[in-house]
Amino acid sequence: DAKTTQPNSMESNEEEPVHLPCNHSTISGTDYIHWYRQLPSQGPEYVIHGLTSNVNNRMASLAIAEDRKSSTLILHRATLRDAAVYYCILGPNNNDMRFGAGTRLTVKP
């Protein structure tokens, strides 16, 4: 199974952009890159996903490296409600959705 590597933790100031990196050097051609986040005492929440091209939605942007061996989740203006654990996951199929330890994002007011 393709694995991902993320920093354990990151800090950001409120209303500033946040770039959350993910390395996935063994990604296969059919693997989608998914991002989920988990707020305290909640189940994980979908953020965004993509295959090759950069993606934007109302929550975030996903920048995918040209060789697809890394990607970056971008929160354009962090708010206190964005404090969560962010998971980068690879999968050709949903049943291969394995979570790692994720990145714990702290947002400072």
Partner 1 sequence: GAGVSQSPRYKVAKRGQDVALRCDPISGHVSLFWYQQALGQGPEFLTYFQNEAQLDKSGLPSDRFFAERPEGSVSTLKIQRTQQEDSAVYLCASSPGQGANTEAFFGQGTRLTVV
Taking alpha carbons only, the member of 35, 36, 27, 33 closest to residue 51 is 33
**Residues 50-69 vs partner 1: string with x where CB under 8 A?**
-x------------------
**Residues 8-47 vs partner 1: string with x where CB under 8 A?**
----------------------xxx-x-x----xxxxxx-
CB-wise, 3 or 15, nearer to partner 1?
3
CB-wise, 8 or 109, nearer to partner 1?
8
CB-wise, 44 or 71, nearer to partner 1?
44
**Residues 89-108 vs partner 1: string with x where CB under 8 A?**
--xxxxxxxxxxxx------
* Strands 45-50 and 32-38, sheet pairing: antiparallel
Is residue 105 within 8 Å of 10, Cβ to Cβ?
yes
Distance between CA atoms of residues 39 and 84, nearest Å: 5
Question: What's the gap between Cα 35 and its chain centre?
Answer: 4
Q: Which two tokens stand for residue 95?
A: 């049943």
